[in-house]
């Protein structure tokens, strides 16, 4: 007889095989929890643990009141040199729709540190919630000091990472001299899990990106959240010998 720990991994394995073989196709509804309990002779908590595994792997999406569905194959983002890589930019733009919402907020403590501004400074917040089909794909929040942008930011975008804001800064006469990114791998917060329809056990890439002008002032800050099953970060290293020769 399977132990509980082995039982829920066994159920997850069986469902994963069905998804991999196409027996459960994209957007197909999985059997209900009650049906899975009967099929595998397992308790509801055990079945839910198995579904948690599949959700955290990005294989299924849970829709409140509707059930569990096979997630569509995800276009994978490659983040490199502080932006989407050239080889994924076109495919992601074709597969993903990105509505943009805008509002004015006051800087809290974390944004004060990130942007180097006093508390309660007025900022324009641009929220990029991207979707592949009807399923959430990524989340980006971009912050710019209010009044800096003279150019408009489109209400829909081809970029899930908020590249339109940096383009609008350039069009507004703001020179971008450097970009810095800090990337952290962590588990999704409860709010991110709700927004992206993922589990709180899903690993995400948390990217904190700032753009600086020639004087070293932060003119744009971006908080990007990408589920790990849909994103990877790539870094390029250079030969120390070549760098010394160039110097």
- The residues of the chain that CATH labels 3.40.1410.10 are 77-233
Per-residue pLDDT averaged across 139-148, rounded? 94
Parts of the chain belonging to CATH 1.10.10.10: 4-70
- CA diameter of the chain: 70
At 245, the pLDDT band (50, 70, 90 cuts) reads: low
Instruction: Say if CB 198 and CB 226 are below 8 A apart.
Output: no
- DSSP strand pairing (60-63 vs 135-145): unpaired
Of the candidate ranges 40-44, 191-195, 225-229, 239-243, the one whose mean pLDDT is the lowest: 239-243
pTM: 0.86
Fold that domain 77-233 belongs to in CATH? Chorismate lyase (3.40.1410)
pLDDT of residue 82: 82
4-70: CATH topology is Arc Repressor Mutant, subunit A (1.10.10)
Specify the higher pLDDT residue, 150 or 1: 150
Strands 77-80 and 231-233, by their bridges, are parallel
């Amino acid at each position: 007889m399977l132990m509980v720990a082995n039982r829920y991994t066994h159920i997850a394995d069986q469902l994963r095989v069905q998804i991999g073989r196409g027996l459960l196709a994209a957007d197909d509804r999985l059997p209900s929890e009650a049906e899975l309990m009967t099929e595998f002779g397992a308790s509801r908590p055990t079945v839910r643990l198995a579904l948690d595994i599949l959700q955290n792997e990005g294989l299924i999406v849970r829709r409140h009141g509707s059930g569990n569905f096979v997630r569509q194959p995800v276009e994978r983002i490659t983040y490199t040199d502080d932006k989407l890589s050239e080889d994924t930019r076109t495919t992601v733009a074709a597969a993903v729709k990105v509505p943009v919402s805008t509002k004015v907020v006051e800087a809290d403590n974390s944004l004060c540190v990130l942007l180097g501004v006093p508390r309660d400074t007025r900022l324009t917040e641009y929220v990029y919630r991207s979707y592949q089909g009807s399923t959430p794909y990524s989340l980006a929040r971009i912050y710019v000091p209010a009044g800096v942008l003279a150019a408009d930011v489109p209400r829909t975008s081809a970029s899930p990472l908020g590249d339109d804001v940096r383009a609008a800064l350039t069009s507004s006469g703001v020179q971008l001299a450097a970009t810095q990114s800090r990337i952290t791998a962590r588990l999704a917060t409860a709010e991110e899990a709700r927004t992206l329809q993922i589990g709180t056990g899903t690993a995400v890439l948390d990217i904190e990106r700032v753009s600086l002008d020639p004087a070293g002032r932060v003119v744009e800050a971006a908080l990007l959240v990408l589920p790990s099953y849909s994103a990877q970060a790539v870094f390029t290293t250079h030969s120390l010998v070549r760098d010394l020769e160039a110097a």
